[in-house]
């Protein structure tokens, strides 16, 4: 069965400090990994996906198939990064359902 | 371009009553998905429409839940009769008819069953 694990419910960091939101997954096939973000009073939106290898708002995430991880990183946290972050996966290249982790609330302290 | 819209934004009903949630996907999006987040748990997939057809309904919790998408445009999700454990936020998402494209989410409907 596919599963996404985010071990931290809450992560508090000071502004300017590095951020790492952890995500591990289990999936028998070939997954596509995502990070979704939900800012206060806004809808869930895609932040980045592993196949695009982009850096969005300074965030990056590298898929490590050996460790089955997809941690989200940013070198210097900003106050506007405070939000709920969800790691997710789906079957690569399909219309398939998205499986989400429980989410990590990132709180950036000014 | 308007995003995915959901109605109502919040619904409070009593156990045993019926509630119908509506989702209007982005115009032209053939794929429509329903998800649910109950308190303290992850967002879980409920079902997937391609146009008016149910492609995958493996996540529907039981037969008290009925989803429809007549005409392949908007979709409704009816809960009848509602139970306390149905409380949560129901999200709708839509995507284009191309492989591997992004799903765009609606704002969600918060359902509270008393």
Q: How many angstroms away from the CA of B93 is the closest CA of chain A?
A: 10
Contacts 24+ apart (CB under 8 A), B49-52: B49/B75, B50/A95, B50/B97
User: How confident is the model at residue A95, as a pLDDT?
Assistant: 66
Enumerate domains of chain A plus CATH numbers. 3-109 (2.60.40.10)
Answer whether residue A93 shows pLDDT above 80.
Answer: no
Reply yes or no on whether the pLDDT at B2 is more than 80: no
Beta-bridge partners for B87: none
d(CA A81, CA A100): 20
Helix (H, G, I), strand (E, B) or coil at B66: strand
Beta carbons within 8 Å of A40's beta carbon, 6+ residues apart: A82, A83
The pLDDT tens digits for A23-70 are: 999 988 788 899 999 999 999 999 998 877 778 899 999 889 899 999
| Sequence ranges of the domains in chain B | 5-98+106-113
Average pLDDT value for residue range B89-96: 94
Tens of pLDDT along A37-46?
999 999 999 9
Per-residue b or e along B66-77, where b marks 16 or more CB atoms closer than 10 Å to that residue's CB: ebebeeeebbeb
Quote the pLDDT of residue A14: 97
Residue A62: predicted pLDDT: 87
Which phi-psi region, left, alpha or beta, contains residue B30 (left: φ > 0; alpha: ψ -120 to 50)?
A: alpha
| Mutation choice for B interface testing from A35, A97, A98 by most B CBs within 10 A | A97
Query: What is the side-by-side order of every strand in the sheet holding A72-74?
Result: A19-21, A72-74, A60-61
The pLDDT tens digits of the residues spanning B39-90 come to 888 999 999 999 999 999 999 999 999 999 988 899 999 999 999 999 999 9
When pLDDT is averaged across residues A76-90 and rounded to a whole number, the result is 96
Q: For residue A49, list chain B residues with Cβ-Cβ distance below 8 A.
A: 102
Q: Which residues of B fall within a CB distance of 8 Å from A86?
A: 42-43
Report phi then psi at B70, rounded to 5.
Answer: -65, 130
**CA closest to A40 among chain B residues:** B107
Query: What residues of B are in contact with residue A44 (Cβ under 8 Å)?
Result: 43, 91, 105, 108
How far does the CA of residue A40 sit from the closest CA of chain B (Å)? 11
Which member of B41, B58, B99 has the closest CB to residue A102? B41
Test mutation, A25, A39, A43, chain B, max B CBs within 10 A = A43
Query: What are B3-35's pLDDT values in tens digits?
Result: 999 999 999 999 999 999 999 999 999 999 999
Tokens representing B63 are 């037969």
Give Cα separations from B48 to B32, B55, B68, B93, B113 (angstroms).
Answer: 6, 5, 11, 9, 24
Residues of A in contact with B105 (CB under 8 A): 43-45
CATH topology of domain B5-98+106-113: Immunoglobulin-like (2.60.40)
Angle (nearest 5°) at CA B103 between B101 and A101: 115
- Within 13 Å, how many C-alpha atoms sit on residue A61's CB side? 29
């Amino acid at each position: 069965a596919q599963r996404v694990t985010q071990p931290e419910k809450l992560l508090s960091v000071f502004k300017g400090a590095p951020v790492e939101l952890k995500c591990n997954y289990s999936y028998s096939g070939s997954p596509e990994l995502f990070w979704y973000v939900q800012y206060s009073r806004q809808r869930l939106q895609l932040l980045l996906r592993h196949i695009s290898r982009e850096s969005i708002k300074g965030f990056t995430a590298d898929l490590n198939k050996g460790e089955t991880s997809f941690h989200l990183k940013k070198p210097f946290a900003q106050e506007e990064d405070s939000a709920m972050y969800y790691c997710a996966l789906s079957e690569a290249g399909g219309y398939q359902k998205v499986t989400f982790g429980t989410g990590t609330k990132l709180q950036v302290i000014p | 371009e308007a995003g995915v819209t959901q109605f109502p934004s919040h619904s409070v009903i009593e156990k045993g009553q019926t509630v119908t949630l509506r989702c209007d996907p982005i115009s032209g999006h053939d794929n429509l998905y329903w998800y649910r987040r109950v308190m303290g748990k992850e967002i879980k997939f409920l079902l997937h429409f391609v146009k008016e057809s149910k492609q995958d309904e493996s996540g529907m919790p039981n037969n008290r839940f009925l989803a429809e998408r007549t005409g392949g445009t908007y979709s409704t999700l009816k809960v009848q009769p509602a139970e306390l454990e149905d409380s949560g936020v129901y999200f709708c998402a839509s995507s284009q008819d191309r492989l591997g494209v992004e799903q765009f989410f609606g704002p969600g409907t918060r359902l509270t069953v008393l």
